Every structure is written in structure tokens, then in C-alpha cells.
Amino acid sequence: AQSVTQLDSHVSVSEGTPVLLRCNYSSSYSPSLFWYVQHPNKGLQLLLKYTSAATLVKGINGFEAEFKKSETSFHLTKPSAHMSDAAEYFCVVSDASGTYKYIFGTGTRLKVLA
């Protein structure tokens, strides 16, 4: 069965410093992996997706993630945090097992300090 674990429920960084949000996945098949962002009282917006074409995936707003099969990880990074990055971030896995389900992590709330 597929699953996803976001290792930190809350992360605080200072504006201008790097961001690292950690995600580990479990999947018996080749996974599809996504990161979504949810700003307060808003819906979810796709940040980036892993398509198997490249292990380093670039997304919107300067975010990127690296797929590491040996570590079953898909961590989200950004070189320099901006105040507008404060939001909740979700790692999502879906695999080719035929269940057509999307499994969400429990989320990481990012706080950006001035």
C-alpha cells in the first residue's frame, strides 16, 4: 500500500533563509509525487510534480524538489524564503497499482519570520 509521511508538522524560517520541507513515501510501484500549497482559507495549488523525466523538479515560485528513490524521499526546497511563502504544504503520492487513489501527507505549516 502506498503512504506518505511529512516529517515536520511545523517549520519556521527567517525571511531570506533556505526552506526545507521533508517528505518520505512508500509505494510498491513507480510513484507519482506532487507538492501542493494551501494558503489560509484557500484551496490547494499545485507547486510541482515528479514525472520520472528528471529527478530534480522545478516548480512555481522558486520551489524545487528532488526525487531520491534510494531514500524514498521527495523533499521540497527553496533557496530564499519570502513572507508570502507562509502556508501549509502537502506532499501527495499516487502510484500505478491500479487503485487510482491520491494519498496526502498530514501537511507542514511553514512560518516565515521577518
Partner 1 sequence: EAQVTQNPRYLITVTGKKLTVTCSQNMNHEYMSWYRQDPGLGLRQIYYSMNVEVTDKGDVPEGYKVSRKEKRNFPLILESPSPNQTSLYFCASSLTGVMFQPQHFGDGTRLSIL
Q: Which residues here bind partner 1, judged by CB under 8 A? A: 6, 9, 30, 32, 34, 36, 42-46, 49-52, 90, 94-96, 100-107
Reported in sequence order, the residue ranges of 2-101 that DSSP labels E, i.e. its strands, are 3-6, 10-14, 19-21, 23-26, 31-38, 44-50, 56-58, 64-68, 73-78, 87-95
d(Cα 85, Cα 103) in Å, to the nearest integer? 23
Nearer to partner 1, 8 or 15 (CB): 8
Nearer to partner 1, 17 or 42 (CB): 42
Minimum separation from the CB atom of position 114 to partner 1 (A) = 26
Nearer to partner 1, 98 or 114 (CB): 98
Residue type, 71: E
